[in-house]
Amino acid sequence: MKEKKISIGGLVLNYKMAGSGPALLILHGWGGSSDSWIKVQENLAKENLTVIVPDFPGFGESLTPPNPWGTVEYADFILKFINELKLDNFFLLGHSFGGRIAIKLFDFCPEKIKKLILCNSAGLKPKPSLKDKTIFLVAKIGNAIFTPGPLARLRDGARNMFYIFLRHRDYVKANGTMKETLKKVLGDDFLENLNSIKCPTLIIWGENDKLIPVEYSFLFKEKIENSQLKIFPRTGHSPHLEKPKKLSQAILDFLF
C-alpha cells in the first residue's frame, strides 16, 4: 500500500492506493479518514482491484479548506482529483458523508462511474418530528435568552448541548471551518437526485444503525432504479470497521 499526496488548487490531499486492476474509489464518512478503511482496502487490493481512498479535505492528513465547503465543493474537488489520476470507467463507494458526496459526484460525471455502492449513506434530509420541532423552538428561545450581555458567552455551550441531544455529536467535535462546513452539508437533501442514478447500484446498510436508521435504505432502494439492497444483521453505522471481511466480500460479489 502506498500513501501519497497531491496538490489540487493549492490544497494538499492525502490518499492511499493499493492493488492493481480496475479502479475502486472509496469516499469515507464524516470524522473518518483513509485509515478507517485499511482492512477493507487490503482485502480488496488482493482481488484484482486498484483501491484508492483519499482523506477528504479537513480530515486525516489532508489540509482543511480555506473556507466552509458544502457538498458541491467537496464533489467538485473529488472530481478534480479523479481527473488528476486520469480515472475513467471506475467503481465508486461512498460511506455516510462519503455517500452524500458520491451522489452529487454522479451528477458531475455519470459517464465515468461504472458501478456505485452506497454504504449507510447520508444525503436525505429527514422530515422533522414533533420532538425535533419542540427542540428547535426551545433552541430559538434559548438563543434569545443567551444573547444579551454577559450571558452571550454561554450561548455556544448551550447550543452544543442541544446538538448532543439531537445526536449531532459531530457538530460538537468539529472546530472552526469544519463546524460551519458540517452545518452546510447537513442542510442538503438529494432525494430527487437519486432518480438520475442509472448505473448498477448496491445499497449496504447496518441493521442497527442509530445514526442513519435502516429505514432510509428502503427509500434509497425505491428511488434508485437499477439497485439492490443488502442489510447486515447485528451491524451498526460502520460495517467497514465492524465487519470488514463481510463487507469486502459483498463488494466483490457486486463488482464482479
Residue 175's pLDDT band (boundaries 50, 70, 90)?
Answer: low
Residue 161's pLDDT band (boundaries 50, 70, 90)?
Answer: very low
User: Using CA atoms, how far apart are residues 24 and 88, in angstroms rounded to an integer?
Assistant: 10
Residue burial 122-142, b: 16+ Cβ < 10 Å; e: rest: bbbeeeeeeeeeebeeebeeb
Residue 186's pLDDT band (boundaries 50, 70, 90)?
Answer: confident
Q: Are 118 and 106 in contact (CB under 8 A)?
A: no
Mean pLDDT for the stretch of residues 90-98: 98
Q: Is it the case that residue 129 has pLDDT exceeding 50?
A: no
Q: Is it the case that residue 150 has pLDDT exceeding 60?
A: no
Q: Is it the case that residue 116 has pLDDT exceeding 60?
A: yes
Name the more confident of 182 and 71. 71
Residue 101: how many other CB atoms lie within 10 Å: 28
Name the more confident of 195 and 138. 195
The angle that helices 244-255 and 38-45 make with each other, rounded to 10 degrees, is: 40
Model confidence over 51-67: pLDDT tens digits? 999 999 999 999 999 99
Model confidence over 12-51: pLDDT tens digits? 999 999 999 999 999 999 999 999 999 999 999 999 999 9
Q: Is it the case that residue 103 has pLDDT exceeding 90?
A: yes
Residue 125's pLDDT band (boundaries 50, 70, 90)?
Answer: confident
Name the more confident of 241 and 188. 241
Residue 256's pLDDT band (boundaries 50, 70, 90)?
Answer: very high
Residue 214: how many other CB atoms lie within 10 Å: 17
What HEC string does the chain produce?
Answer: CEEEEEEECCEEEEEEEECCCCEEEEECCCCCCHHHHHHHHHHHHCCCCEEEEECCCCCCCCCCCCCCCCHHHHHHHHHHHHHHCCCCCEEEEEECHHHHHHHHHHHHCHHHEEEEEEECCCCCCCCCCHHHHHHHHHHHHHHHHHCCHHHHHHHHHHHHHHHHHCCCHHHHHCCHHHHHHHHHHHCCCCCHHHHHCCCCEEEEEECCCCCCCCHHHHHHHHHCCCEEEEEECCCCCCHHHHCHHHHHHHHHHHHC
Q: Is it the case that residue 151 has pLDDT exceeding 60?
A: no
What mean pLDDT value characterizes the chain?
A: 87
> Which of these, 77, 72, 81, lies nearest to 17 by C-alpha position?
81
Residue burial 71-88, b: 16+ Cβ < 10 Å; e: rest: bebbbbbbbebbeebebe
Instruction: List C-alpha distances in Å: 78 to 75, 87, 184, 187, 191.
Output: 5, 11, 18, 20, 21
Q: pTM value?
A: 0.84
Q: Is it the case that residue 162 has pLDDT exceeding 50?
A: no
Give me the domains of the chain, ranges plus CATH numbers.
2-125+188-255 (3.40.50.1820), 130-182 (no CATH)
Q: Which of 138-142, 170-174, 190-194 has the lowest mean pLDDT?
A: 170-174
